[in-house]
Amino acid sequence: MERWWFRMIAGPDGKEAEIRVILRTGDDESSYPAVQVRLDGTEVAVDDAAVDYEAPEWKAKQLFAAGGGGGDGDWEDVLDHVRSLATG
């Protein structure tokens, strides 16, 4: 079973702007593969921006779709990208 974190990052207006998607693999949190995307689906560099809150997957997916990131296939593309980082 895969274990994920969906960490929401607020924009200047205080509303959700980005999602840091992290696949929890192994024992060393610093080595977990991660991707950060804006709600419109644009990938951005994973940074150390403060996390506003951790969302369940359904909520992160809902915000991603509402922000213009795309539908189920686009969401799965993001997850697949993170998975590919885990396998090298």
pTM: 0.94
**pLDDT tens per residue across span 30-62:** 899 999 999 999 999 999 999 999 999 999 999
- β-bridge partners, 78: none
For 63-86, how does the pLDDT look when each residue is reduced to its tens digit (9 = 90+)? 999 999 999 999 999 999 999 998
Selection from 88, 86, 70 nearest residue 31 by Cα: 86
Return the SS3 of 28: coil
Where do the domains of the chain lie? 4-87
Question: What gap in Å lies between CA 60 and CA 43, rounded to an integer?
Answer: 15
CA dihedral 42, 19, 63, 80 (to 10 degrees): 70
